[in-house]
């Protein structure tokens, strides 16, 4: 395995946003080559480097948070998967863990593998950010903005922000110095989440609620807040899915382009290995545990049945769930 610096150097050598697409197994290389009209020798070199690069990126996806971003192509949609912050989940965050003797198999030094991820979807003229990551004003160093800059996306290029929910690790990076970071973007949020956090309150601790209210208020004040309902096609090819339980308006998004789909799960899973194997296990972060477990089982079952790939805000693997006889899932 090459060190991180060498992998990144290889990526940067060939990876503008478009070049990064060639690093992915899912990309339609023919379309890329026609679009760019590159000389034959250059295209062959690009494909060769792309194949080499894809091996490293794919292994990195499985292995760790050791890369800054990955790409995923869904026909007309290009998706950038951003590793905002490294993160692990301590065993004590899962109160029913002792019920599952095999759980210790997934623990490394008392915690489960995890991450904080954001996503960028390029679809036609839209550049859509899904969740905002930690940012730099809430005690962590979220890297979403820095990584966007690496791939040539300016904050002002973002046309829309889709929020899975209002927890601090998903919204804090959306404002800085008391102003929206993404000044041209419309913030799109589930109406139930807005009602629970902004109108009623008492969903999380004071600090989290304060940050969520600041973020929503700043975009609302700029006339850039739009509320949606579950089932709505929020933007072309993007539908909101009821994933409530983690928070009252927690939402997953189904992305579809020309028959291919990817479901962004938000916080449906925190410790992927554990909760895929035992979907009834909740974390202490799940606001309504029974509902969270129901949503996890329902959405993973549907994705397994319809063979829809999934990616999450806190899990490293990306893949299509398959249901096992004992009731758990594996991602393939």
Q: Measured from the CB atom, is 27 or 81 closer to Zn ion?
A: 81
| Smallest gap from residue 307 Cβ to Zn ion (A) | 26
Q: Measured from the CB atom, is 19 or 194 closer to Zn ion?
A: 194
Beta bridge partners of 160: 128, 186
290 contacts 283 by C-beta, under 8 angstroms: no
Q: Measured from the CB atom, is 252 or 304 closer to Zn ion?
A: 252
| Smallest gap from residue 289 Cβ to Zn ion (A) | 16
Cα 139 off chain centre by: 21
Q: Which residues, 244 to 263, sit near Zn ion by CB under 5 A?
A: none
User: What x/- string results for residues 297 through 326 when contact with Zn ion is judged by CB under 5 A?
Assistant: ------------------------------
Which of 160, 267, 273, 286 forms a contact with Zn ion (CB under 5 A)?
267
Decide: helix, strand or coil at residue 264: strand
- How many chain residues touch Zn ion (CB under 5 A)? 3
Element (H, E) at 233: strand 233-235
| Smallest gap from residue 167 Cβ to Zn ion (A) | 5
| Smallest gap from residue 95 Cβ to Zn ion (A) | 18
Q: Measured from the CB atom, is 114 or 321 closer to Zn ion?
A: 114
Q: Degrees (nearest 5) of the Cα angle 25, 29, 35?
A: 145
Q: Measured from the CB atom, is 169 or 193 closer to Zn ion?
A: 169
Q: Which residues, 154 to 193, sit near Zn ion by CB under 5 A?
A: 167, 169
| Smallest gap from residue 61 Cβ to Zn ion (A) | 19
21 binds Zn ion (CB under 5 A): no
DSSP string, 4-51: HHHHHHHHHHH-SHHHHHTTSTTS-HHHHHHHHT--HHHHHHHHHHHH
d(CA 311, CA 145): 20
Question: CB under 8 Å to 215, separation ≥6 — which residues?
Answer: 132, 166, 171, 172, 174, 175, 187
Q: Measured from the CB atom, is 50 or 312 closer to Zn ion?
A: 312
How many CB atoms are located within 10 Å of the residue 302 CB? Answer: 14
**Pairing state of beta strands 251-257 and 238-242?**
antiparallel
Q: Which residues of 82-121 are buried (b: 16+ CB within 10 A; e: fewer)?
A: bbbbebbbebebbeebeebeebeebbeeebbbbbbbbbbb
164 contacts 266 by C-beta, under 8 angstroms: yes
d(CA 93, CA 194): 26
Q: Measured from the CB atom, is 24 or 242 closer to Zn ion?
A: 242
**Residue 330 burial (CB < 10 Å; 0-12/13-18/19+)?**
middle
Q: Measured from the CB atom, is 85 or 123 closer to Zn ion?
A: 85
Q: Measured from the CB atom, is 160 or 167 closer to Zn ion?
A: 167
**Pairing state of beta strands 251-257 and 260-264?**
antiparallel
| Smallest gap from residue 115 Cβ to Zn ion (A) | 10
Which window, 24-32, 125-133, 254-262, 267-275, contacts Zn ion (CB under 5 A)? 267-275
149 contacts 96 by C-beta, under 8 angstroms: no
Residues of this chain that interact with Zn ion (CB under 5 A) are: 167, 169, 267
């Amino acid at each position: 395995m090459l060190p991180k610096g060498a992998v990144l150097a290889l990526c940067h050598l060939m990876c503008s946003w478009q070049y990064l697409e060639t690093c992915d197994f899912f990309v339609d290389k023919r379309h890329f080559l026609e679009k760019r009209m590159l000389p034959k020798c250059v295209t062959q070199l690009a494909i060769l480097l792309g194949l080499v690069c894809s091996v490293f990126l794919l292994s990195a996806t499985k292995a760790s948070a050791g890369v800054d971003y990955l790409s995923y192509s869904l026909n007309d949609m290009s998706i950038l998967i951003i590793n905002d912050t490294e993160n692990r989940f301590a065993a004590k965050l899962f109160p029913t863990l002792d019920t599952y003797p095999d759980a210790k198999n997934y623990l490394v030094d008392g915690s489960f593998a995890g991450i904080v991820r954001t996503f960028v979807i390029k679809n036609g003229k839209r550049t859509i950010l899904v969740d905002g990551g930690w940012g730099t004003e809430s005690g962590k160093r979220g890297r979403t903005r820095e990584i966007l800059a690496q791939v040539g996306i300016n904050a002002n290029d973002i046309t829309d922000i889709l929020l899975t929910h209002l927890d601090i690790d998903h919204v804090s990076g959306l404002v800085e110095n008391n102003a929206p970071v993404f000044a041209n973007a419309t913030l799109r949020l589930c109406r139930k989440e807005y009602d629970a956090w902004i109108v009623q309150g008492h969903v999380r601790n004071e600090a989290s609620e304060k940050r969520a209210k600041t973020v929503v208020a700043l975009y609302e004040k700029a006339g850039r807040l739009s509320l949606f309902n579950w089932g709505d096609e929020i933007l072309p090819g993007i539908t909101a899915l009821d994933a409530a339980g983690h928070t009252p308006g927690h939402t997953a998004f189904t992305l579809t382009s020309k028959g291919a789909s990817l479901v962004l799960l938000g916080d449906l899973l925190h410790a992927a290995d554990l909760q895929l194997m035992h979907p009834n296990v909740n974390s202490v972060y799940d606001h309504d545990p029974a509902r969270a477990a129901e949503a996890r089982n329902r959405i993973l079952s549907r994705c397994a049945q319809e063979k829809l790939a999934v990616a999450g805000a806190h899990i490293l693997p990306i893949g299509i769930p398959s249901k096992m006889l004992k009731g758990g899932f594996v991602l393939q």
